[in-house]
Structure 1
Amino acid sequence: MAQNVEAWTLLALALVVIIIRIYVRWSLVGPKGFQLDDYLMPLAGIVFVLETVAAYLVGANYEGLTNSYISPSERQAIVPNSKEWNNRVAGSKIQVLGWSLYVAILWLVKFALAVFYSRLTTGLQNLPQRVRIAYVILGITWLATQLSLLLSCQPFHAFWQINPDPGDVCQPAKSPVYVLVVVLLNIVTDLYLLSIPLPLLWQVKISLKQKIPLMGLFSGAAFVITASIIRAVMISVAGPEGAVAGSKWACRETFVSIVVSNLPIIQPLIRRGFKKIGLSQLFSSSGKESNGRSYPLSGRGRQTLASHADRITKKGKHAQGLTQTQVSAWGSDEHILTSPEPTSKEITVVSETIVQTEQWNRDRAPQPTRVSSPNQWDARGTTHAM
């Protein structure tokens, strides 16, 4: 009973997090501004419901029985079409379905994160390319996991064969192919996804006390990796309770995956909550700045920067201090590294480059943008030492 309560509680909390995410995105961009990840995450929530139901059935309806953990003599003693026989057959089928649902949720969340990162890195060179590589890696690894789940045991009905012993690879509750392939590919993909935002966050020129909570928001995959390893170990050492233990840890890992992947999206509410309890300094840029280096702007990023600077100039303000991270944030609908209404105290500095836009004159050709840096560039691209 306690295990069932835990599973349904985790499901409810995960769905609440998804609903909060939808609320935040609705408030920021409206339903017309929803992107692919805004649909993938609710879909992952729906599949989580199915996974939880499957995990419940294994323990509640089929007594946690599968075609695993049976000695040869016990297999021969099981009467075909008896209650135990039927429970073991049905439990094994649920295990195959549960593994497929488990993989579907994890990879839906990974794809949603990759889409989110594609918006976060808009306008920066190299990083968007790494996101595109992530799509390829996720597609290949998802296909590999599905093929391993479906083709590792042939004929397919041997997955729920009772007698004779179908072999370990045809026992879904403890199949080494299932455990090793899914766990390894899950860890590899999570590590690659971590490699996209963390270098950017670590190298931006902001105070360490602001950098740490931001990195924490994006480091949730580390908890998913830990849960995945624990699940694999529990399946291997749980013995006859392996089916129930595996289902329980699948729900836990799924819950962790959904929650931590949505933290960067719902961080405006987190920021607001910290502000109410007097901890807003965790998200402020006050304090000593750490050294950082810049990510070069792409052509799209430079165009966005020039467009934004021109809008500010037309309002009578100087376009100073616009940084590459701000171009990325303003070029999309995300406000992770900068506040939604940037001020001089909230701007994150990625490089020492300062952009200045001269006043537009309709009677003459526009003047080239001047960049103040250790070297001065003229309109022809010639370098003059300062």
Structure 2
Amino acid sequence: MADAAQAFVQEVWGLQGTAYLVVCLRYYSRFTHLGWRGLSWDDAIMFFAVLVYTAESVMAYLVVAYWKGLANNDMTDAQRATLDPESEEWRLRVNGSKTHVVGLLLYTTLLWLLKACWLVYYARLTDGVNNMHRWIRWGIVIVATTYVACLLVAFFKCIPFNHQWQINPSPGNNCMPAISSLQTIFVMIMNTATDFYLMAIPLPVVWKSHLPWRKKVVLLVMFSGGLLEMVFGILRCVSILVLGDVDPAQSGYWSVRESFVSVVLTNMPMVYPLFRKFIEKAGSVTRSKGASQGDSKGYKLGSVPGRGEPMVRRQKPSASIPNDTAWGSKENIIVEREQTLAGSDDASMELPKHQTGVVSFAQGRTPSRSTSKGPDDRIVVTTEYTVTEAAPQGSKNFSRREY
């Protein structure tokens, strides 16, 4: 038992250190691309999530290292009746049960804080996409409701509340926090259902986008990380229900592991840009240098040029996704939008009826008119207008072409 406890203690702090590294990379990526003013609510939520994750790991450590994995379960009625309230085992079981109660509340709070991070991120990622704001609003309602429901189960599954660390007589399964079937199954169901809903927000947008398949697959895999979280949640539930009465520390084991996976996956969209250049380099050896530079900032979903079109040409928005957002992390979305808006105040506006226009941007330059026709010069703006004016004397047509 001592060897297993020592191995788990090493695992806890190893996972903790790795999670800290991933979160630090997240903030480094955010600061590098956006600066302090570019931080968003999900960055603040992640900070509190890290604090909760640290506290949860401490609780798991106490359960194993200090309370010897004991709680108010795995005892016969005869053992409960003969156990001396002044004994060391009594103290270990009572404190172990109390620690389990706190640890489960922290575990639930952490998972739902991470869900809130995803919602804030998806709200930015899908900004402007038709009807996606409704999905986000419903997501807020669902996440808040399921979290409150989990808390209500945690507090009211055992009444009075202090029976959750009662030794004699047996308080019943609902009052044994290490193996409570009601709380374990309920939290697993709520966690799985909300993860399914959260994955349903970005995946259809990415699937319908005009991104190259290579980038599309990367995003689909990244946003499908909730499936891995579900697997760990189900493993946690099964382990507690099957082995919990023999080893109450199972709750701490799998809670820490699932929390670690959730923290890492939630930060992946922010950390990915740091490694994207290295990841893409292997699959883009045939890409020209100019194309690579143009791709480094990412495309808006639905606005990726086709094979036969110049890389610098701006396409009309997709019919299915009118105001598509950028692929990859929000750092690139914001950088692209800021650069586009800095280049043209009308870059994101549609032309009015009876007026059409095509604007081509030279990479890294502010749009301006050029009349030079030299061999090394580049045409910065191409404009073609057709204006129909209604007048009492009749309609007047004006056409203008500029190259």
Q: TM-score with structure 2 length normalisation?
A: 0.74
- Corresponding pairs, count: 331
Instruction: Report the 3-state secondary structure (helix = DSSP H, G, I; strand = E; otherwise coil) of the residue aligned with 1:264.
Output: helix
* Closer/same/farther in 2, CA of residues 368 and 46 from structure 1, 3 Å limit: farther
Partner of 1:94: 99
Per-residue CA deviations over 1:108-152 (Å, capped at 9, x if unaligned) read 000011000000011112112101110010110010001110111
Contact 1:234 1:242 in 2 (8 A): no
> Which structure has the bigger radius of gyration?
2
1:214 Cα deviation from its structure 2 partner: 1.3
Q: 2:135, 2:201 within 8 Å by CA — same for their partners in 1?
A: yes
Q: 1:160 aligns with which of 160, 165, 171?
A: 165
Mapped to 1, the partners of 2:48 and 2:322 lie a distance apart of: 30
Find 2:332's aligned residue among 327, 331, 335: 335
Choose the corresponding residue for 2:118, options 113, 118, 125. Answer: 113
Q: CA deviation at 1:202?
A: 1.3
Q: Could you tell me which residue of structure 1 aligns to residue 356 of structure 2?
A: 370
The residue matched to 1:69 in structure 2 has which SS? coil
**Gapped runs of 5+ residues in structure 2?**
1-5, 293-299, 304-311, 341-347, 359-385, 390-403
Q: Which of 73, 92, 101 is the equivalent residue of 2:78?
A: 73
Map 1:44-63; keep pairs closer than 5 Å.
Answer: 44-63=49-68
- Counterpart secondary structure, 1:263: helix
Q: Distance in 1 between matches of 2:214 and 2:280?
A: 15
Q: Which residue of 2 aligns with 1:263?
A: 268
Superposed displacement of residue 367, structure 1: 7.7
Q: Which amino acid aligns with 1:157?
A: N
How far the C-alpha of 1:333 sits from its partner, in A, is 4.6
Residue identity opposite 1:370 in structure 2: T
Partners of 1:160 and 1:32 in 2: CA distance: 47
| In structure 2, distance between residues paired with 1:10 and 1:341 | 37
The answer as to 2:137 corresponding to 1:151 is: no
CA separation of 1:281 and 1:92: change in aligned 2, threshold 3 A: farther
Residues 30-63 of structure 1, C-alpha deviations (whole Å, 9 max, x = no match):
1112111011112111111111110000011111
Where in structure 1 do 4 or more consecutive aligned residues deviate above 6 Å? 281-286, 336-343, 355-358, 377-380
Give the 3 Å change call, closer, same or farther, for CA 54–27 of structure 1 in structure 2: same
Q: 1-side partners of 2:154 and 2:388: how far apart?
A: 60
Contact 1:124 1:295 in 2 (8 A): no
| Residue number among 5, 14, 23 corresponding to 2:10 in the alignment | 5
Contact 2:34–2:331 (CA<8 Å) still a contact in 1?
no
Shift of 1:184: 0.4
Cα distance in 1, alignment partners of residues 58 and 32 from structure 2: 32
Q: Offset at 1:76?
A: 1.0
Query: TM-score if structure 1 supplies the norm length?
Result: 0.77
Distance 1:2 1:163 in 2: 32
- Output the aligned Cα RMSD: 3.5
